[in-house]
Structures are given as C-alpha cells and as structure tokens.
Chains A and B, each alone.
Chain A
Amino acid sequence: MKVALVGQPNSGKSTLFNAVAGYRSLTSNFAGTTVEYTRGQARVDGVVLELIDLPGLYSLTPTSAVEEVSRDYLLGGDWDVIINVLDASQLARSLELTLELLDLESPMVVCLNMMDEAARKGMTIDTHALELALGVPVVEAIGGRGRGILETFRKAQEVAAAGIRPRAFIYAPEAEGLLEELAEKIADNTKGRLATATKKSEVGTGDSGFRIQDYGLSRAHHPAALSCGTGPCAAGCCGHSSAMEGLQSPRAAAAVAVLPAQPPPILAPTDPQATSLQSQIANHKSQMTAFPPARFRALQLVQSDPNHLPTEIGHLALDFELGNPDLGPLRSSPGSHTPAPAARHSSLVTRHGSSDSGLSSVEWAREEIALRTGQPADAAISAARHAACLTVFERVARVARPRADWREQVDRLAMHPVWGYAVLAGVFLGFFRLIFDVGKLGEDRILAVFDAIVAVLTHHMNAQGALYAAVKGAVLGTAGAVAIVLPYLLPFLVGLAVLEDIGYLSRVGYLMDAAMHRLGLHGTATLPVLVGYGCSVPAVMATRILTTRRDRFIAAFLAVLVPCSARMTVIFALVGFYLGANYALGIYALNIIVVALSGAVLARIWPEISPGMLMEVPAYRVPAPRVVALKTWWRLREFVLMAFPLLVVGSVVLSLVDFYGWQHGINAALSPLTALLGLPRSVGLTLIFGVLRKELSLLMLMQALGTTHVLGAMTAAQILIFTLFVTFYLPCMATLASMMRELGWRLTLAASGALLALAIVVSLAARGVMLLL
C-alpha cells in the first residue's frame, strides 16, 4: 500500500516518516528535476507500507518548482492514501492545504502533529469536532516523542482498505454553481478523450522508465462524493457509465495516459493480510471515475494562472482556452444557480455568456465569479477558503493565554538589529572552529593510516612497475576522499542538520537578507556562501535550499569563489609563510571584493525575478537525534557515491602521468598560461594536481621545484601570483562533481570557464601592479 505524506513545510512530516521508515530509505529526485523526495518502507501491524515523503507544500496551487513537483505527484494518483500532517499550533493556516486535499475526494487521514506545541501556545483542540467538520479521521500526535505515529498509520491503512472517501469541502457558495457546471463539462470532455488521449504525464516516481497504466480511471468513485447529486448531472454522473465502458476495453484504458512504472511490488505474495488488503484496494479501484475529480479540475482551472496549471489539467485548459468548438461556453444562463447578483450586471454577463463572445467556459466562469465577488476569481476563491479555515478553526479550537515562553526571549537577542549579528558571527565561528579542530585531528590520523598502507605496498610490490603506480594512485585518491569526508564533512553535516532543525537557519536568512541583496541573492543564500569558507562541497550541496535555478547558480558560484579551508592552507603556507601574514589576510580581503563584484555582475547578467523574501520563521525546536542522524547519513551517502569514484580515478591517472613521465608534455601544454603569468614552467603540472585536491598544488609545487625552500626557486612576486591563481581558478574535482549534480553540466562548464577567466584577470592585474611598483 502506498502512503503519501503531505504537509506544509515545518509540519513535522519528516519526523513522522523517520520514526517508522529506516536508514535504508532512499532520497531520490523526481524525474528530470533536482527536487527530492524520500521513500521508504515501514511495517505496521505486519503490513508493509510504502511511504512517500513529499517536499512540504503550502497549497495545491504552487509558486515554487519544488511545490509544483509535489503537486504533480499527488495529481498523478500513484498512491492509495494521503496522510496530511498538520502543525496543530498553526491549525488555522494548516487547514488551507487540508481543504484543498479534500477536493481530491480520496482516502485521507489528518495527523494533528505537535499537540505539545499547541498546548504551549494555550490552544485546546477538539479533535472530534475537527473530524466532523472535515469528514476524515483526525489523529493527535507528538511526532518528536513518538506519540500518535503508529495510530496515524493504522488509521491510514483502515481508511485505504475501506476505501473511505471524503466529500469535497464547499467553501465558496458564489462560485459553486459555476464550478459544478464547469466540472460537468470537464467530465463530458474527459469521456470524449478516452478514445483519443495519449497524454504523457511528466510526473515521475523513479527512473525506471515508463509503462502504460490505467491512469485516470484508477480512482474509485464514491456516489455521493462528486457534484453529481444535483441537477442535470445526476443522470450522466460525470460520464461515469461511459468511463466504465472505456475501462473495459484495454486499449481505451491504455490510451488515457502513459505514466511512469510503479516501483517493484513491495508486498510479499506470501503475506496473506497484505494480499487481502491489496485486493481490497484493487476492488475499490475497480469502481472507477476520472482522477483528479472533475470538480477539482474545474477549481484549478478557475483559480490558476494558466502557466502554472498541472500538466494533467493543463491540456484541458488548452482545449477550453483555445475555444475548442465542442466546448463552447457554459450552457446555463448566468444566475441559474445563484440568482441574485447577476441581474445587476445583466448586459455584461449576457455578452460574455453568448456563444459568439469568443470567451471560453473557463474565462466566462472567471469573469462571472469576479463580477459576483468584486475581486479576481483566484483571490475570491482563496479568500473564501481562508474564511472557511478560520471558521473551522474557531469551531474546534479554544485559545487561552499562552504560557510564558523562553523562546521569545531568545529571538529578542538572536534577531536583534545589533546583537543578532554578534550571535550570528559567534555561532558560525564556533561552528567552523569545532569542525576544523575535530577535522584536523581526524585528518592527520587518517592520512597516517594511508601512508602506512603505501609503505606496505612499496615493500611488497615492484616499485618500478606501472601497476604499483596505479595502485598507489588509487590508495592516495581514497585517502584524499576519506580525509575530506570523515573528519570535515561528517561533523559539518551533523552541525548543519542541527542548525536546520533548531530553526536557526531561517533566522540567519532574515538577518542577512539586506546584505545578500547586494550580491543579487536573498537571505537564505547566506548559508552556502559562508559554508564555502569551510569546504566548497557541502556549500554547493547547501544551495539546494534555494528555490530558483538562478539563485542556486549565483550562490554556488560565489561559494566556490570563497577560499575553502584547503585553499586557506595554500594561502598561509605560501604567502603567509614567505611573505608575511598581512599579505595572506590581504588575499582574503581581495577575495571578498571579488566576491562582491562577481555577485553584482552576475545579478546584472541574470536578473532577479522573484519579488523578495516571504518565509515562515518556525519556532525553535529541539532537534530529534534520529532525524539529524538520518539527514546526515543521506547527504553523506550521496557525496560518497558521487565524488569517491572521481577522486580515485583522477588520482590513478595522475600517478600514471607521473610514472610515464608525461609531465613535460603537460608543462609544455600549459606553458602559454605559466608564461603569461610569469611563473616557472614546471608549476604547470601542480595546477592540474590542484584540481584533484587543492592542497596538492602546494605539495606538488615543492616536488616540481625539487626543493622545500620555495623562495629560492621562485620570487616573492611569483609566489603571490601563483597563490592568487590557485585561490581563484577551477574548483576541485569533488566540488565540480557536486556542481554537476546540483546545476547540470552546462552551468558547471559556464562557471568553470568564468572562474578560470577571473583567476587569469586577477593574477595578471596583480602582476601588473607589481611590475609598476
């Protein structure tokens, strides 16, 4: 049985998921996007449930790409029951999504999470009254403490097995008559499409290819659920009977839609309880009608911006908007359902209502709703829904005086116009300090272990052979990867998950928004850029919290421009050691200027479209260790799978280059660059090594020059130019791999080219200045 966990951001959905699904859960991307969701399995009362934890969404009419993908998944219908997780302390607002989900008229359970939080706010919620108001089971839960979680999943199973479907919640009486008519038209249209449609849905649940399914007919139809009970619709019942006929012909059914293949069945055939459950569900599915329901489609058409329609509904919209002759304007004269207000505007409405007006049914319905309510149709419907939520809220909840809360005091400090920044600096300095102190300890030990392995190899193998060179390369590559991952990335990811779950990151976004606007970014992009000072790999991974591709690109670019800790080693070991600490700090200062200028230039090249920050600031929460551990594990696993092979292969190749003595060729190939920068020809190879791991450019420099006394072999000016170039040029291979993953190869290539050009310009400028002096 497939259970979709749906909830608004910060509703504690993932806590619920993680409480029952194990570490084997997979984070996957929706096909063709970078939007992630998590799927896992849980055994509840002996039945295996397949859980899909969708990214948080505020409503089914989304504004961000992430939400759009979640919504499309839901409308794809590849699930058996919805668990709608609500933050009880935000009940009024959370109900907005719930009412929209009810419009799907599909099995659903409401999990009223964070009841403790609500109690702290002085709220008491009458769960039974809420059940009555919504018409779906409501389970109280405190996810963080594991309370109510099993009950929620049990209830979900029951509801799915019994095929209990809620009625749509009627909240906009002015619009309802029009919606009904539109729904009827859509249902007729769907019936007509059965034979011809070959719509290919883009909703993906995996990368396992596509398979034809009886999508669109796979939802059971509850006789009372749709608007069929009323008026002329009763006989035809939304094309119900015809839909049934359509289904009986496999070809017709197959023609309805092509959907991604379902993942392999998770239910063991030997499990009798499970099989019977599955057959029950299949049985419910056999009484079929179109999904999403016609009324839901009508609602979406009326209130959506045409560009944001779900793919499944979008094609319908096209038919309507383009004035498909079969789909002329609504039949009824205005006011047949809600008589009063139409009279006032009769002339206008008649014009719109007539078939030669050129207006489609949808446009006509929008106009009519706008006339009746005095505001645009989408605003009217969302206002009506909002009002309905408040009414339900007032009916089921009592709010007393909230208990005195220490968290308000914390925010008074943490978000203070002056002290807030001091706290911010303190938190990040402490965070980095901790990571590097822990990391340094670990790195030395890990590298010592691998040095010992190399010593053993040298002893037992023919040190002159190519095989030895390759094996040594592989060992050193693994050493590099392990020495990044364990000591630095692991504590960093733990710390990041903790900061995220406490709720501090959104405070950082609030504080830094104004400053980040100068770089063409929003406050939320602060984290990746700051993290860049530690390690570029997690910095690039952290850009995922940003919503647009543009923001992700600019943030990733600036994050890799900032010198990471490996480049810090190079800067201090070369410039700091040979030229003095002030020069090293000067490089940092110059870097900040370059970052600011690059941000400004990028913001001009790729202008901002999003209108600004609008972000919920969640209450502080104590992070659940299990959630932190799982988050860390997923991110770590992802890095290991992506970067390990690259580092090992790259290291082997460089060992072989060294073994066969190809460095002369490489130095010759790079000689135009080294000559341009006025550097010794032999440093060419070190720049290649630097791409593998940044510190290697330092180690290989000494090897290439044949001395550890760099100042003897290079002038002070050359050292400075070399360091500047290494600071700015290409990011290391692991970073490039994560950029490929987050941004795609085109943008990665563009960023690499830009960084290389930037490095040359900065180094040349430095050379020019020094020649003048």
Chain B
Amino acid sequence: MRDTANFGSPMNLYEAGDDAELRILLITGGWEVRRSFNQIGIQPGDHVRILRRAPFGGPLMIDNQGTRVAVGKQLAEKIRVEVLP
C-alpha cells in the first residue's frame, strides 16, 4: 500500500524554506489533525508562507492569507507542501 504521507511532494511544511510561497497539497494525519487545521482556517490548496521559526525545534510562524499562525514542529510535519514558482 502506498503511504499517503509520501504522496505528491517529498517535502513537508517544516522542511520548506522561509519566505517562499508554498501551496498546501495534503494534510496527513487523522480526523483530529485535519479538524484542528480546518478550524484555524488552513486547508489543502491554500497558499502559505513561513515568516519565521523559533529556535531549538520550536514552532513555525506562517502567514495564511493575512492570518498569522504558530504551528508546532510535529504538526508542521503533517502538512505536505509544494513550492510555487
């Protein structure tokens, strides 16, 4: 069986570079994870940008259509993204 986590892009949000325009391809993880992202307004297809990252494996701060969201490392690793040109 194909692991959905590796579907599409080889990159997760935590690995992506700062300040690049990214598109969310897939949110892996269960109902709970999808729901929490959905609640805060993050969905597959959205364009996001990493603004800064806290040191020592701390959270990322991303911009999602003007909303600033802090995303912990574990959760950021559940988002598959692609870099937009």
Contacts and interface: CB of A to CB of B under 8 A. Distances in A.
A121 B70 contact: no
Most buried by A among B29, B33, B35, B37: B35
A121 B53 CA distance: 23
Nearest to A123: B66
Contacts of B31: 305, 376, 378
A386 B70 contact: no
B34 A613 contact: no
A613 B33 CA distance: 11
Nearest to A612: B72
B66 A511 contact: no
Interface residues of A, number: 41
Interface in B18-64: 29, 31-41, 43-45, 52-59, 61, 64
Contact of A382 (B33, B43, B53, B67): B43
B55 A417 contact: yes
Contacts, number: 123
A567 to B, nearest CB: 30
B74 interface: yes
A510 B75 contact: no
A550 interface: no
A614 B58 contact: no
Nearest to A87: B67
A506 interface: yes
Contacts of A121: 66
Interface in A493-534: 506, 509-511, 513-515, 517, 522-523
B57 A617 contact: no
Nearest to A381: B38
Interface secondary structure of B, over-half rule: mixed
A61 B31 CA distance: 11
B68 A617 contact: yes
Contacts of B40: 58, 93, 614-616
Given A382-B38, A513-B59, A506 B44 contact: no
A61 B72 contact: no
A618 B55 CA distance: 21
Contact of B54 (A59, A379, A386, A417): A417
A304 to B, nearest CB: 9
Contact of A612 (B43, B65, B73): B73
Nearest to B64: A93
Given A58-B39, A612-B71, A614-B40, 5 more contacts: A59-B38, A93-B41, A514-B56, A611-B72, A614-B70
17 contacts: A59-B38, A93-B41, A93-B65, A305-B31, A379-B44, A387-B45, A509-B70, A510-B59, A514-B55, A523-B70, A613-B71, A613-B75, A614-B69, A614-B70, A614-B71, A614-B75, A618-B68
